[in-house]
Amino acid sequence: MNLQPPLEYEYPLQSGLDEWPIGIIGAGFIVRDCHLPAYQEAGFHVAGIASRSESRAREVAELCGIDCVYPDYQALLQDPQIAVVDIAVPPQHQLPIIKEVVRHADHVRGILAQKPLAMSYAEACEIVRLCDDAGITLAVNQNMRHDQSVRACKDLLTRGLLGEPVLGTIEMRAIPHWMPWSEELHSLSTYVMSIHHLDTFRYWFGDPVRVMASTRPDPRTTFSHRDGINLYILEFESGCRASAWDDVWTGPAREGSAADIGIRWRVEGTDGLARGTIGWPSYPERTPSTLDFTTSAGNEWISPRWDRVWFPDAFRGTMGELLTALKHQSEPTISGRDNLHTMALVEATFAAAKENRVVELGEILAS
C-alpha cells in the first residue's frame, strides 16, 4: 500500500515556539531524562528551574544548560519572563502548586501538569476551574498519546483504513520503578500506570460507557497497596470493546527466572488490523516502538519503522501541543478539560475493582 500522505506518527512542530519561556518545577528523573532532552532537541526555550532541593535543581541545570536556578518555585513564579510553567511533581502536590501559579496569570499563560492531574476527579475539576478562571491554558502530560506507534494507530483510525473499531487490547508485562511518593497514594497501579492505557483507549476510540475491572496486589511491591496487577474491560456505545492486562509482576523475573517483558497492543477493525509494541520496558536502551498493519484492500502486512521512542521523544509532543495552543490561542488535545474524562475513567476503573461492580462513566462525570 502506498500511503499518501505518510502516517502521522509525530506531532508537527512549528517555528516560533521558542518565544514562550518555560519554567520547570521539579528536578527528578522525569525532568532530567525525559522533559529536558526532548525540549532541547525540539528547540524549546527553558528559561529556569526550581525544585525542593536547590542543589538538585542546580545539578540538573548544569547538566542540561539551563541558565537560571531559583531557590524555590515561588521565586520562579515571581519572575515575569516565565510564560509557561512545567510542573513535574507527584500528583498529590499539584493542586497546591497550581493554586499559586494562577496568582501569576499576568505573565503565566500556560501550564503543563503531570499525569495524573490529581488523585481524585473532584480535585482535577478544581484544577481545571482554577486555570479557566485565570485564563491560563492547561495541558496534561499524557505522553503515551505521543508514542509513535500509538499516534500512528490513531492516524489509521482517523483515515478509516481499519474501518469501524471492533476490539482494542493492550498487554503490558513490565516492572515499573515505583517512586517513594507512590507509597502515600490511595491507589498505585490504576492512577500511576493504567492511566496511560486508559487514556490511550480514549484517544483511539472516544469515551467508553462503562468499565469492569479486577485487581490484586503485586507480590514484589513490599509497601501496602490495593491495586497492583490490573485487568479491565471497557464498553463503548458503538459496540467496540477494549481490554488491558497491566501486569507489573510478570513472573519472578527479578527473583531468578527468565524474563518475558514487553508491551504489546492490537486494534481490530471491520476493514483492517493494527498491532504494535511499546519500547519503554527496555529503557534506558533506546528501543523504538513498532507498528504493523493490514487492511482488506491488500493481503499483506505493512511495517513502517521510525527511530523514535516513547521516553524521551514523546515529551516534545506534549509540550509542543501546549506551545502551539498558546501561539494560536487554541486548545490542545491534551487539555485539562479533555483530561477530566480520563480522570473520570481512572476513578471509575478503580471503583469497579474496589467495589466489584460495573461502573458507568456517567456516574463519575455527574459527581
Give the pLDDT of the chain (367 residues) as one tens digit per residue: 668 789 999 999 999 999 999 999 999 999 999 999 999 999 999 999 999 999 999 999 999 999 999 999 999 999 999 999 999 999 999 999 999 999 999 999 999 999 999 999 999 999 999 999 999 999 999 999 999 999 999 999 999 999 999 999 999 999 999 999 999 999 999 999 999 999 999 999 999 999 999 999 999 999 999 999 999 999 999 999 999 999 999 999 999 999 999 999 999 999 999 999 999 999 999 999 999 999 999 889 999 999 999 999 999 999 999 999 999 999 999 999 999 999 999 999 999 999 999 999 999 999 8
Domain of 306, CATH number, reads 3.30.360.10
Q: What is the CA radius of gyration of the chain?
A: 20
Residue type, 46: V
Residues 236 and 357 in one domain: yes
In a domain, 12, yes or no: no
Nearest to 64 by CA among 100, 98, 27: 27
Q: Is residue 125 part of a domain?
A: yes
Shared domain for 186 and 290, answered yes or no, is yes
> In the chain, how many domains are there?
2
DSSP string across 308-332: --TTTTTHHHHHHHHHHHHHHT---
Domain check: are 186 and 111 in the same one? no
In a domain, 326, yes or no: yes
Alpha helix segments (H runs only) across the chain? 29, 36-42, 54-64, 73-78, 94-101, 121-134, 148-159, 189, 195-205, 315-328, 336-355, 361-365
Per-residue pLDDT at 4: 79
Per the structure, the complete domain to which residue 295 belongs is given by: 144-310+342-365
- 321 and 361 housed in the same domain: no
Quick one: 137 and 197 in the same domain? no
Please choose, from the candidates 43, 34, 33, the residue with its C-alpha nearest in 3D space to the C-alpha of residue 13: 43
Enclosing H/E stretch for 171: strand 165-173
Q: Is residue 5 part of a domain?
A: no
Same domain, 192 and 234: yes
Domain-embedded: residue 124: yes
pLDDT of residue 1: 67
Tell me, yes or no, if the pTM score tops 0.85. Answer: yes
Give the whole-angstrom CA distance, residue 291 versus residue 144: 15
Say yes or no: 116 and 236 in one domain.
no
**Residue 151 falls inside a structural domain:** yes
Residue at 337 is within a domain: no
Residue 8 lies in a domain: no
Question: Pick from 276, 308, 288, 305: which is nearest to 157 by CA?
Answer: 276
110, 75: one domain: yes
CATH number of the domain at 137, please. 3.40.50.720
Report residue 298 as a C-alpha cell: 491488500
My answer on whether 185 and 59 are in the same domain is no
Q: Got the DSSP string for 242-261?
A: EEEEEES--SSTTTTSPP--
Q: Identify whether residues 54 and 81 lie together within a single domain.
A: yes
Residue 1: all three cell numbers together: 500500500
Q: What is the pLDDT, as a whole number, of residue 5?
A: 84
Q: Tell me, yes or no, whether 176 and 116 share the same domain.
A: no
Q: Are the C-beta atoms of 227 and 189 separated by less than 8 Å? A: yes
Could you give the C-alpha distances from 247 to 79, 258, 323, in angstroms and in order? 44, 16, 35
Same domain, 199 and 164: yes
Which phi and psi angles does 151 have, rounded to 5°?
-70, -40
